[in-house]
Amino acid sequence: MQVSIDDVDFTKSEGLIPVIVQDIKSKDVLMLAYANKEALQLTIQTGKAWFWSRSRKRLWMKGEESGNVQYVKDVLVDCDSDALIYLVESGGPACHTGNRTCFHNRLIR
């Protein structure tokens, strides 16, 4: 089923929705970030991953500082229309630490 940007529910968390970023080839989960409607619109318009920074309170494009741009090949919307997956081709490490994925730490059990 296809949905439009107007079907995405930005009302539940102060205008933000979680975005899981996944490598389109390896299926590795690269990162989790948040988007508002404007970030999603920019992602669709540019084909590059845009997000809302909760700490800096501003829009940001992945790779604007590091050069590790994520090229969005598809966007999936969950069944409640309040979370997204960006399927991307990544231009380098996703994590600000230099790791390929932000999920590189294992929880001690």
In a domain? residue 10? no
In a domain? residue 61? yes
CATH number of the domain within which 29 lies:
3.10.20.810
3-state secondary structure of 87: strand
In a domain? residue 95? no
- Considering the entire predicted model, what is its pTM? 0.93
Distance of CA 64 to CAs 42, 50, 52, 109, Å? Answer: 14, 10, 13, 37
Annotation: binding site for Mg(2+): 78, 80, 82
Annotation: binding site for Zn(2+): 79, 95, 102
In a domain? residue 50? yes
The residues pairing with 23 across neighbouring beta strands, listed in sequence order, are: 88
* Tens of pLDDT, residue by residue, the chain (109 residues): 889 999 999 998 889 999 999 999 999 999 999 999 999 999 999 999 999 999 999 999 999 999 999 999 999 999 999 999 999 999 899 999 999 999 999 999 9
User: Number of structural domains, the chain?
Assistant: 1
In a domain? residue 49? yes
Please tell me the distance from the alpha carbon of residue 72 to that of residue 74, in angstroms, as a whole number: 6
In a domain? residue 45? yes
- CA dihedral angle for residue 75, residue 8, residue 34, residue 107, rounded to 10 degrees: -80
In a domain? residue 66? yes
Annotation: binding site: 78-80, 82, 95, 102
Task: Give the structural domain span for 85.
Answer: 16-90
